[in-house]
Amino acid sequence: MQGVSPGPQLGDQEPELFWGVVNSMHVGNILLLILSSPLVGLFVKILRVRATILAPITVLITLIGVYTVNYDVFDIMLVIVFGALGYLMKKLGFDPGPLVLAFVLGSLLEDSLRRSLLLFGGDPTGFFTRPISGTLLVLFLLVALLPLVRTALPRRRDNARRDTKELV
């Protein structure tokens, strides 16, 4: 796949490769249907396994998979720490979405920040003085602060009504 640029022009530039991938997906789906149909009963039995048995097996397979990527025990420790963090967050009622989003987009954000700072000559005020980035920053602040304002306004109204009733 070296020398091939993915994107909307792939079908025009490399039609053999594009249609080869599409057709291989069709063949793969047909083979999956043929091979998995006789195994439906086994899949149902797997679904009936208690979670107390299935969870440790899943954790063990996950740890083995993590170890085989770099053959480093540190990776296993990292998975255990983040697993405990995820469990704690779930017990405390936190939404895991923002953490997963930060994990996925963190390196991209870091690279873009580094590139932007190089363009600004290391001066972070460039983010505030440019029209587009300044507008986006103001919009971000409005969206971030709007829920706080919405919760604060009814409290002020309730306090004002209560004070008015006390005066009367």
Distance CA 155, CA 111 (A): 42
Domain-located, residue 88 = no
pLDDT in tens, 50-90: 999 999 999 999 999 999 999 999 999 999 998 998 899 99
Instruction: Answer whether residue 55 is part of any domain.
Output: no
64 within some domain: no
Contact between 9 and 17 (Cβ < 8 Å): no
pLDDT tens, position by position, 96-112: 888 888 888 998 999 99
Domain count, the chain: 2
pLDDT of residue 47: 87
Structural domain of residue 39, as residue ranges?
A: 1-48
Among residues 33, 48, 63, the one where a domain terminates is 48
* Assigned domain for 72 exists: no
In a domain, 137, yes or no: yes
Per the domain annotation, does 2 fall within a domain?
Answer: yes
In a domain, 18, yes or no: yes
Asked if the structure places residue 113 within a domain, the reply is no
pLDDT in tens, 119-145: 989 988 888 888 998 899 999 999 999
Residue 151 corresponds to which tokens in the numbers above?
Answer: 């919760």
The overall pTM is greater than 0.95 = no
